[in-house]
Chains A and B, each alone.
Chain A
């Protein structure tokens, strides 16, 4: 089945550091990738939608300058949390989808981000 690889799985860093999370589709072309954030015991909240070669579309309330998304190829999207602070600590999970409408999204295993 389709595989999406997300790295790193866990990162702990100091406040003020920028952190980059990668999301790769390993065996299909992902025309669209989605970035979600999940707080403990809560549901997934969509942060942004990125299409290959174009600017990401951010959901209301998500800071574009804080969460930089790049989708430079059909197999890779990155989320950079800039100047991270403790309130940015969360579980971030990406998903990727091919162009064909009836194909489901495939999720990465997520990244647990802890800002000290």
Chain B
């Protein structure tokens, strides 16, 4: 089974600064999907960004970007110009390819605190 590791239980960033959340994973598959989800106190799961393993280009979504290093099995999330609303739990997740039958495999999460 694939494992997803988030080694930072908590991170803190000042408003307008940049922060990077780390994620590593273990897999023997060559094709897969990687995701970052945000879970604010409301506990909604909000998709932040996704990356297909076969794509070499790093995904970006406005202030959010990833550094995908396939050989190193690393998938970090960079949040630029941090805002107070970015404060939340962030989960890295892995999914195998092959139709709809595969669930997301989540890391333990990183709690991000944004200070004014």
Please give the residue numbers on chain A whose beta carbons come within 8 Å of chain B beta carbons, in ascending order: 30-32, 34, 38, 42-44, 46, 49, 51, 91, 93, 95, 97-102, 104-105, 107, 109-110, 112
Contacts and interface: CB of A to CB of B under 8 A. Distances in A.
B11 interface: no
Contacts of B99: 31, 99, 101
A34 B42 CA distance: 20
Contact of A107 (B33, B45, B107, B108): B45
B101 A43 contact: no
Contact of A34 (B33, B43, B98, B103): B103
Given A43-B107, A44-B91, A109-B43, 12 more contacts: A30-B100, A31-B100, A34-B103, A43-B91, A43-B108, A43-B109, A46-B104, A97-B100, A101-B98, A104-B50, A110-B44, A110-B45
B25 interface: no
Contacts of A42: 108-109
Interface residues of B, number: 23
Contacts of A99: 99-100
B108 A104 contact: no
A45 to B, nearest CB: 8
B35 interface: yes
Contacts of A102: 33, 52
A95 B47 CA distance: 12
B52 A91 contact: no
Contacts of A93: 43, 45
A43 B45 CA distance: 11
B35 A49 contact: no
A104 B101 contact: no
A62 to B, nearest CB: 13
A109 B39 CA distance: 10
A37 to B, nearest CB: 12
Contacts of A34: 103-104
10 smallest CB-CB distances across A and B, nearest first, come from A107-B45, A32-B100, A97-B100, A43-B106, A31-B100, A46-B103, A34-B103, A43-B108, A44-B106, A99-B100
